[in-house]
Structures are given as C-alpha cells and as structure tokens.
Amino acid sequence: MRRDIFQAIADPTRRAIIALVALQAMTPNAIAENFHTTRQAVSKHLRILTECELVKQEFQGREIYYSLDIDKMKEIDTWLQQYRKIWETRFNQLDQILLINKKKKK
C-alpha cells in the first residue's frame, strides 16, 4: 500500500522522528532512546517514513542510519505555501484592524 506523506506527518511520533533525523543521521536504536516506546514501534514509524520517502536509509557496515530526505520536505512546503499566503494576508488584515482600533481609542 502506497502511503501519503501527509498521513506520515500526521502522527506526532513520526514528526518527532523527522525532527531528530533532520539534525543528524541516526540508527533505529539511537532514535528509540528518545521515546518511551518499544524499538518495534519506532521501527514501524521508520518503515512508514521510509515508504513515504521522508527519510532515507544508509547502510554503514551492519548499521542502518536514517536521515531526512529534503526533497520530500520541499514537497510538503510547496503544498503549505498556498495556505501560508492566505494566513499572511489574514494576519496583515488583522494588524490593520488592530491599528485602526488602537487609533480610535486614543
């Protein structure tokens, strides 16, 4: 089953894993040390993130290191960009309203 990247980032544990591997490549055991859960649960999250291509695996000897795949994160950012413009417009409108109200109170 092909998973959607937005499904993957919907889970808070997976978002936390993304934040960890964004800083440096880590082994599953090193990642699991940051959570109060089993190594198997972390492995499941890593599998989903790998299937969605949000993280990539690099084999170094017998160890697997996971790191962030920046290209997929850019895909998320591109999708969010359309909403960012809407939010910025609304915040600017709110700023204008607050400024007008502040001037009226003086």
Structure confidence by residue, pLDDT tens digits, 43-63: 999 999 999 999 999 999 999
pTM for the model stands at: 0.76
CA count, 13 A, side-chain hemisphere, 35: 21
In this predicted model, what pLDDT tens digit does every residue of 1-58 receive, in sequence order? 567 889 899 999 999 999 999 999 999 999 999 999 999 999 999 999 999 999 999 9
Residue identified by tokens 């990247």 is: 5
Adjacent-strand bridge partners of 26: 66
Q: Which residue in 47, 17, 19 sits closest to 32, CA to CA?
A: 17
The continuous run of DSSP H or E covering 63 comes out as: strand 63-68
Q: What are phi and psi of 4, to 5 degrees?
A: -95, 140
Region 75-102 average pLDDT: 90
